[in-house]
Amino acid sequence: MSAPMKVGAVIITMGNRPDELRALLDSIAKQDGDRVEVVVVGNGSPVPDVPEGVRTMELPENLGIPGGRNVGIEAFGPSGRDVDILLFLDDDGLLAQHDTAELCREAFAADPRLGIISFRIADPETGETQRRHVPRLRAKDPMRSSRVTTFLGGANAVRTQVFAEVGGLPDEFFYAHEETDLAWRALDAGWMIDYRSDMVLYHPTTAPSRHAVYHRMVARNRVWLARRNLPTLLIPVYLGVWMLLTLVRRPSRPALRAWFGGFREGWTSPCGPRRPMKWRTVWRLTRLGRPPVI
């Protein structure tokens, strides 16, 4: 029998949630099976006290969510190769069960083309899962596991071979849509993504718009996502649909102003390398229920 897959975990923190971070680390330490090695990255801030055996790294500046996570990946060797699987968990989350790491090992071992698993996020008080936390269009039933086309950034597991093949998260994005950028590149390389309702991260219910830069970053990175990854013919369709959806949602005037400012910035600023996906990947995304025009 082959040895069990090695699991590591990357957590980025701003140092402002020490109690929640400690609770998360305790939930990782209680995982069944072999020990999960953990790296906590202080993203432009000191790392609070952590249990013995947890590695820490303190960055001199905030590199954003993808930049901080990329540093954590490399802490496990180039492209994270010292382990087989990396968990990425928000520092105010909490693994609900003790078998999550074991379920990840089993899932990746059973399906050699499975590259990414997206966990279910549930409120610790109510147990409810927000619709936006189900990474598919048919999000009414969060208890239904399925193949999907993207994943949740703070509650997931990635086979490190994916990073070796397609690279890490896009540093330039700083915040918003970095998961979809990686997901599209992984799918284009032949990997699959699963949403698993039985792998649960407890996380307080929040609104993404709580971040001051939310509307600008969402719009800018949406343009970058299209410019980097979509065939030329689909770029105006994809961005036109998202502009229409934004207007239908009727954001406030300041929010809309920030959104259009970010949209312009997405066209006028460098977005990183362009690697348009194959048309067969477009068809694959369509068959999975989310064509890359929405």
106 Cβ contact list (under 8 Å, min separation 6): none
Q: pLDDT exceeding 70 applies to what percent of the chain?
A: 98
235 pLDDT band, cuts 50/70/90, is very high
pLDDT for residue 212? 57
Beta-bridged to residue 87, according to DSSP, are 9, 157
Q: How many residues does the chain have?
A: 294
pLDDT for residue 209? 56
Residue 105 above 70 pLDDT?
A: yes
Q: What is the pLDDT of residues 187-227, one digit of tens each?
A: 999 999 999 999 999 999 877 755 558 999 999 999 999 99
**Domain 7-202, CATH homologous superfamily name and number:** Spore Coat Polysaccharide Biosynthesis Protein SpsA; Chain A (3.90.550.10)
pLDDT for residue 1? 58
Distance between CA atoms of residues 244 and 238, nearest Å: 10
pLDDT for residue 213? 84
Q: Is 48 helix (H, G, I), strand (E, B) or coil?
A: coil
Structure tokens at 42: 């202080």
pLDDT for residue 205? 87
5 Cβ contact list (under 8 Å, min separation 6): 84, 85, 104, 105, 108, 109
Range of lowest pLDDT (60-64, 147-151, 220-224, 251-255): 251-255
Do 47 and 91 form a contact (C-beta atoms < 8 A)?
no
Q: Domain map of the chain by residue range?
A: 7-202, 212-288
Q: Is 154 helix (H, G, I), strand (E, B) or coil?
A: coil
Instruction: Cite the beta strand spans of 90-208 per DSSP E.
Output: 94-95, 114-122, 146-148, 155-159, 192-202
pLDDT for residue 211? 53
Question: Mean per-residue pLDDT for 46-65?
Answer: 97
Question: Mean per-residue pLDDT for 125-139?
Answer: 94
3 pLDDT band, cuts 50/70/90, is confident
Residue 6 above 70 pLDDT?
A: yes
> 214-243 burial string, b = 16+ CB within 10 Å, else e?
bbbbbbbbbbbbbbbbbeeebbeebbeebe
Q: Is 135 helix (H, G, I), strand (E, B) or coil?
A: coil
Distance between CA atoms of residues 207 and 124, nearest Å: 16
Task: Please choose, from the candidates 91, 90, 73, the residue with its C-alpha nearest in 3D space to the C-alpha of residue 82.
Answer: 73
**Dihedral sign of CA atoms 143, 147, 149, 155 in order:** positive
Q: What is the pLDDT of residues 173-188, one digit of tens each?
A: 999 999 999 999 999 9
Residue 109 above 90 pLDDT?
A: yes
237-245 CB contacts, 8 Å cutoff, 24+ apart: 237/293, 238/292, 238/293, 238/294, 239/263, 241/293, 241/294, 242/294, 245/294
pLDDT for residue 206? 79
Question: Mean per-residue pLDDT for 115-139?
Answer: 95
